[in-house]
Amino acid sequence: MIPHIDETHAADLASWVSTANGHPDFPIQNLPFGIFSPRHGQPRGGVAIGDQILDLSLAARSTLFEGGAKDAVDAAAGPLLNAFLGGPAQERSALRRRLSALLAAGAPDRAEVETWLYPAVDCRMHLPARIGDYTDFYAGIHHALNVGILFRPDNPLLPNYKHVPIGYHGRASSVRVSGAPVVRPQGQRKAPDAEGPEFGPSQRLDIELELGVWIGQGNALGQPIAIDAADQHIAGLCLLNDWSARDLQAWEYQPLGPFLAKNFMTTISPWIVTAEALAPFRIAQPARPAEDPTPLPYLLSQADQARGAYAIDLEVAIATAAMRDRDEPAFTIAQGPASNLYWTLAQLVTHHASNGCDLNPGDLLGTGTISTPDDSGVGSFLELTRGGQKPVTLPSGETRTFLQDGDLVRLSARAAALGFVSIGFGDCVGQIASRVAA
């Protein structure tokens, strides 16, 4: 079941936290959850509101919460959000409604709640949960086509693609929040015309623009998740940059798939934009072309097809070291909608558990790179530069095929729907650091 639209989504709702009103990411209609530490403080749960962070560990000590909202605020006090994510959706929703009421303009308890706020600029963000497992899918069909064309011009999509959501098990240990430096990986690669492989820093370091899915309630081993129940297992979303070393990938990926080309680092945005906050932005999954196969029954639900997609617009911007030195703004290289996913998030969850695999609270799924059919919104340099054959020229006059040291990449996203206040995801930033010689 998809969360309901309620009073917390009202477009005329304003907050006494003045910076929340009109805030591009964190108006009172969003209220995303994360783990932060104030200066000299320990990590704890927080909620972003405007340019402030509300301390949930202080909220948990107050008498302003009761019932389900009290249980949820206790679980969200930190230092990790796994228990909060795994708790009942009704409790998360009750806490959202209570926080919305406490932060709304004219709220009677403002004086107490004000003491729970820290300027976000003074705080440090952490991973919101202990990520037990991280799985990356390949559900962006235009990405799959664009990449497939580079390697197999006559047969870009493999025959399974439209029948089964393709994925691989990623590496949870190297997931980091926005801002952590991205050290250029080294590894083994072999140029097509070289006689043998060599080892060294990746020369084809790339990004992948993806949405991250935070698993809420888990499932027991051996118990699949029905497609109509899958939404109850999605606690919220974030942005995810699946940094990729294309030269390492090309040499290592057959026959078992991605390995060291991917697991050196994954950057996520630190705030969990909840399924409840995203309720107004649910849209129909785009109809499949008539010639495409109908999904097998375990993946197909009319309810999911009717509201299983999200009206989220995604963007990638780059700022090179030279651009930053000259105070030039970041340059947007891609912009496009999340509706370019061929499978819904519910289908990804259901497929993942369909063999009995157990998902746990705080597990992370990546959707796969989300690209537009044309060049306006492709989510990787691999696609944008046709495998490095067609460099991109930046406004600074610099060109790029893949990332150079000092390059800073920013993913951003915004959910928007007519009649509702749009909400954003916050920063998902990484800067490429050179590998210091050992």
The residue type of 402 is F
Measured from the CB of residue 317, what is the shortest distance to Mn ion in angstroms? 19
CA 152 distance to own-chain centroid: 29
The least distance separating Mn ion from the CB of residue 242, rounded to whole angstroms, comes to: 3
| Encoded amino acid at 226, one letter | A
Nearer to Mn ion, 91 or 247 (CB): 247
Distance, C-alpha 39 to centroid of its chain: 26
Burial of 328 (0-12, 13-18, 19+ CB in 10 A): middle
Contact mark string toward Mn ion, 116..145, x via CB under 5 A: --------------------x---------
Judged by CB under 5 A, the stretch of 33-41, 207-215, 276-284, 414-422 that binds Mn ion is 207-215
Report the amino acid identity of residue 150.
L
Cα separation of the two ends of the chain: 52
Query: With respect to Mn ion, which residue has the nearer C-beta, 35 or 211?
Result: 211
- Residue 313 interacts with Mn ion (CB under 5 A): yes or no: no
**Contact, 47 vs 31, CB < 8 A?**
yes
Instruction: Pull the structure tokens for residue 295.
Output: 């999904």
Q: Which is nearer to Mn ion, 242 or 304 (CB)?
A: 242
User: Using CB atoms, what's the residue nearest to Mn ion?
Assistant: 242
User: Which residue's CB is nearer to Mn ion, number 208 or number 276?
Assistant: 208
Q: Is the dihedral of CA 373, 158, 304, 351 positive or negative?
A: negative
Residues making up the chain, counted from first to last: 438
| Residue 25 is a binding residue for Mn ion (CB under 5 A) | no
Return the range that interacts with Mn ion (CB under 5 A); candidates 7-15, 79-87, 208-216, 324-332: 208-216
Is 4 designated active site? Answer: no
Check residue 206 for interaction with Mn ion (CB under 5 A). Answer: no
Helices (H), 76-217: 82-86, 89-103, 110-114, 141-151
- Select from 65-73, 76-84, 193-201, 204-212 the region that touches Mn ion (CB under 5 A): 204-212
Which of 91/242 has CB closer to Mn ion?
Answer: 242
Contacts of 23 (CB under 8 A, 6+ apart): 50, 51
Minimal distance in Å, beta carbon 165 to Mn ion?
A: 13
CB of 350 to Mn ion, least distance (A): 20
8 Å CB contact between 20 and 27:
yes
Q: Of the candidates 25, 133, 242, 276, which one interacts with Mn ion according to CB under 5 A?
A: 242
Three-state DSSP at 26 gives coil
Could you give the CA distance from residue 233 to residue 225 in angstroms, rounded to a whole number? 9
Of 208, 252, 304, 383, the residue at the interface with Mn ion (CB under 5 A) is 208
Question: Nearest approach, Cβ of 365 to Mn ion (angstroms)?
Answer: 11
User: How many residues make contact with Mn ion (CB under 5 A)?
Assistant: 3
Which residues are paired to 282 by β-bridges? 310
Shortest reach from residue 356's CB to Mn ion, in Å: 25
- Quote the least distance from Cβ 240 to Mn ion, whole Å: 8
Catalytic residue among 142, 143, 233, 351: 143
Q: Enter the tokens of residue 345.
A: 């998030």
Which of 48-56, 161-169, 206-214, 222-230 is the region at the interface with Mn ion (rule: CB under 5 A)?
206-214
Q: Which residues of 305-324 are buried (b: 16+ CB within 10 A; e: fewer)?
A: bebbbbbbbbbbbbbbeebb
* Pick 13 or 213: Cβ nearer Mn ion: 213
Phi, psi for 41 (deg, rounded to 5) = -115, 165
Per the DSSP assignment, residues forming a β-bridge with 110 are none
Q: Which residues bind Mn ion (CB under 5 A)?
A: 136, 208, 242
Catalytic residue positions? Answer: 143
